[in-house]
Amino acid sequence: MSFERITVDPDRMGGVPCIRGLRFPVATVVAMVADGMSTEEIVAEHPDLEAADVAASLRYAAAVVGERSPLQHPV
């Protein structure tokens, strides 16, 4: 799976996955969604973001969790 909107740069934000090279972590977007914000609210509050960035963040988070989920790999 390719994540063109997600960048990881060891020299930026300590290598934390971010949106399109911005200093905006994927985890921040996921947390806003988890707190009940809609895509429209997130984009309105953070004009550098686009609706596609929110969707890409959620897909990226789902892929990462799927790879590492202890529920899929019982001890």
Confidence grade of residue 75 (pLDDT, cut at 50, 70, 90):
very low
Q: Is 39 inside a domain boundary?
A: yes
Looking at the domain assignment, is residue 75 inside a domain?
no
Residue in 3, 2, 21, 1 with CA at minimum distance from that of residue 12: 21
The domain tally of the chain equals 1
The answer to the question of residue 1 being in a domain is no
pLDDT over 90 at 35, yes or no? yes
Residue 74 lies in a domain: no
Mean pLDDT on 40-55: 98
Please, where are the H alpha helices in 1-75? Answer: 26-34, 39-45, 51-68
Report the alpha-carbon distance of residue 22 to residue 7 in Å, rounded: 8
Burial classification of residue 29, based on how many CB atoms lie within 10 Å of its CB (0-12 exposed, 13-18 middle, 19 or more buried): buried
CATH code, domain carrying 32:
1.10.10.10
Give a yes or no: residue 73 inside a domain.
Answer: no
Residue 45 lies in a domain: yes
Could you tell me the pTM of the whole model?
A: 0.85
pLDDT tens digit sequence for 6-33: 999 999 999 999 999 999 999 999 999 9
pLDDT for 73 equals 45
Mean pLDDT of the chain: 90
21 is a domain residue: yes
List beta partners, residue 6. Answer: 19
